[in-house]
């Protein structure tokens, strides 16, 4: 995950800013919303998971990476990233004050911090800094990102070829 990864991580890192008992609603686009967006090859390129796409500009260059979540997928991801000091529930009218397609409510249970941060100093630990820079870590370590980079290179090479380059 590229640019979007940073946005997701920033939302989860906001858990550290909560007081004990404090709550945070994280609302994202649903997987079906992403799957149904645009026209393949014209306004989007679907990656291995149909809920992950590259959004294309009219000239064919990549404008953005987008990932949609299923409700349980978002809940599981937040629980993993935040750790045991938080409760993560699927958002509903009772706990979030409204209805949401794909959202969770995070409640801080105690003074423990999200995985990888140190609340006493207000500074991220080494692990926390790595989480905040997750896009770079994924770019270096993920097979999916390698495929994504290959797709981006192919799109760029198609865009930069002039009609006179055609055989």
Task: Sketch the domain layout of the chain as residue ranges.
Answer: 3-28+71-159
Return the pLDDT at 74: 92
- pTM (2 d.p.): 0.61
Per-residue pLDDT at 48: 85
Distance CA 71, CA 69 (A): 6
Helix (H) or strand (E) holding 3: helix 3-13
Q: Could you give the 3-state DSSP secondary structure of residue 38?
A: coil
CA distances from 60 to 45, 156, 161 (A): 10, 8, 12
Q: Which of 8, 54, 69 is nearest to 149 (CA)?
A: 54
Long-range contacts of 126-134 (CB under 8 A, 24+ apart): 128/13, 131/9, 131/13, 131/81, 132/6, 132/9, 132/13, 134/1, 134/5, 134/6, 134/9
- pLDDT string in tens for the chain (167-residue length): 344 455 556 666 666 778 889 898 999 999 999 999 999 989 999 988 888 898 999 988 888 888 899 999 999 988 988 888 899 999 999 999 888 899 999 999 876 555 554 444 444 444 444 444 444 444 444 566 666 777 777 776 666 655 555 55
What is the spatial distance between Cα 2 and Cα 151, in angstroms, rounded to a whole number? 14
């Amino acid at each position: 995950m590229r640019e979007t990864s940073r946005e997701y991580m920033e939302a989860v890192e906001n858990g550290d800013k909560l007081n004990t008992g404090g709550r945070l609603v994280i609302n994202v686009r649903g997987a079906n919303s992403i799957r149904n967006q645009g026209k393949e090859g014209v306004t989007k390129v679907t990656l291995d998971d149909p809920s992950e796409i590259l959004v294309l500009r009219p000239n064919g260059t990549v404008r953005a990476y987008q990932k949609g979540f299923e409700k349980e997928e978002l809940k599981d991801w937040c629980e993993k990233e935040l750790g045991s000091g938080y409760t993560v529930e699927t958002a509903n009218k009772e706990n979030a004050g409204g209805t949401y397609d794909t959202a969770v409510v995070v409640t801080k249970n105690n003074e423990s911090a999200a995985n990888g941060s140190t609340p006493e100093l207000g500074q991220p630990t080494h692990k926390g800094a790595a989480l905040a820079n997750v896009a770079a870590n994924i770019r270096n370590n993920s097979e999916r990102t390698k495929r994504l980079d290959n797709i981006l290179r192919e799109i760029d090479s198609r865009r930069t070829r002039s009609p006179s380059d055609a055989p």
